[in-house]
Amino acid sequence: MFSTGITLRLSNLDNVIARSPDEGVYTYQASVIAEKGTPGIRSLLREYNLDRTWWDYPHPLRVGYLWPLAAVMKITNNKDIQIGSYISCFFSIATLLLIIVVGLRFFNLWITLYALLFLSVSPMALAIARRTWQDAMIGFIGFLLVYLSCEITRDSRKIIWYIIFILAGSYYILVKTTCALIYFLCIAWILCVLFIKEKAYLKGLICIASIAIGSGITIIYLAYLAGGIPAIVEPVKNMLEAAKTSTYRIEYCTGKWYEFFELLWITAPLNTMLCFIGIGMTFLTAKSYKEIPACASCKNRGAVLGIVLFMIIFMTIILATQILSLNLRYISVLYAPFYLAGGLGFCHMLSFLKAKLKNSYFSNLIVVIAVAMIIVAIKDYQNFQKIIVRSGIKDLSIGLIRQSVSAKTVR
């Protein structure tokens, strides 16, 4: 399945019909940085702040993505817009590898196989893996932070996990402003473990101080690039100001909070249903962890609950504050947890059927279910081809996906 996921990502790199404006902007910014280095960032920032027409697009201080993109351009001596899609493909494949690690470490083999299968064919994951967007990188590093939080939850004594966590989180802030929210949620998760569960107050204070130092270095670096702390805030403020009147955002990316789940249902209906079952059953059986298929070991229970709570809190903040639009691109950090939670729901359903059926009947049913899962996975990939590839949509916003589905239905 891992090889299938790689094959599908590589085979769809060259079938992008039209590029989005953001892809063109990232490519332009990275090409300037590749040519001029740090002075190029400053010139881009001046250009961005002075010209209001740029405010509808990503600002040039997202250097956590732009530096690697510029580096690949220099190494390959190629500044084509497709260069960024190779980076996205790399991080999408890396996420497949990481979901295997997380699945086997904190869940079980069946949940891992389920999650790997459906992430491999996921329409939203495949969509960002072929584009010059930063979302695949955001998804991977964010999921890496979730994984490190799980490791610290399982054993808070290993210093190496803290070091990697702080290094990854400090860099993550450089990729996009909203990455700070994901990093903060993981920090809160770890501090809850240290202060509430472990009562390790000194370790918690040292952790806070270390995180503050790492984040402080990141902010100082951004201030150096931009020319001061106020210069960091200005482009973000300009983007937020433009977003209020953005025609595209208003027409294609807005709606009621519950409509976000319509996007998940359109692209991955079975997993959406199983994800809700998995989350619900995790809380219903929270007092009896032996009933949770993922929690064979008591050391894993905190990690599993942590992932579920992370998903719920992240989505609640986004939907309640409207920080992000109704766009599947912006929840890439939840792609892997979404399918792991679906795997939880799948295992709960299997446990229910096993309790109700005789062993001989259940063994035969397993074969039928396995075939059904493969058929559903093929259907999810067909959704990717029909809704995203053939329609040529340039984004994963609710308006564009609805249009694509409507057009498909009419044909």
Give the chain's residues under pLDDT 70. 285-299, 322-324, 408-411
**Cα within 13 Å of Cα(9), Cβ side:** 28
Which amino acid, residue 143?
F
Q: Give Cα 345 distance to the centre of its chain.
A: 20
Structural domain span for residue 127:
2-410
Instruction: Report pLDDT for 251.
Output: 85
Which amino acid, residue 54?
W
Name the domain count of the chain: 1
Instruction: Report pLDDT for 67.
Output: 95
Instruction: Report pLDDT for 247.
Output: 83
Q: 107-146 pLDDT, tens per residue?
A: 989 999 999 999 999 999 999 999 999 999 999 999 999 9
Q: Are 87 and 51 in contact (CB under 8 A)?
A: no
The predicted model scores a pTM of 0.92
Instruction: Report pLDDT for 287.
Output: 55
Q: Are 356 and 131 in contact (CB under 8 A)?
A: no
Residues 6+ apart with CB under 8 A from 46: none
Q: Rounded to whole angstroms, how far apart are CA atoms 254 and 385?
A: 25
User: The tokens of 243 are what?
Assistant: 């977003």
Residue identified by tokens 């709570």 is: 309
Q: What are φ and ψ of residue 256, in 5° steps?
A: -70, 155
* Nearest residue to 115 via CA among 373, 330, 365: 373
Residues 6+ apart with CB under 8 A from 164: 148
Instruction: Report pLDDT for 289.
Output: 46
Instruction: Report pLDDT for 298.
Output: 47
User: The tokens of 205 are what?
Assistant: 């204070």
Residues 6+ apart with CB under 8 A from 223: 229, 231, 232
Instruction: Report pLDDT for 405.
Output: 87
Which amino acid, residue 230?
P
Q: What are φ and ψ of residue 397, in 5° steps?
A: -75, 160
Instruction: Report pLDDT for 348.
Output: 86
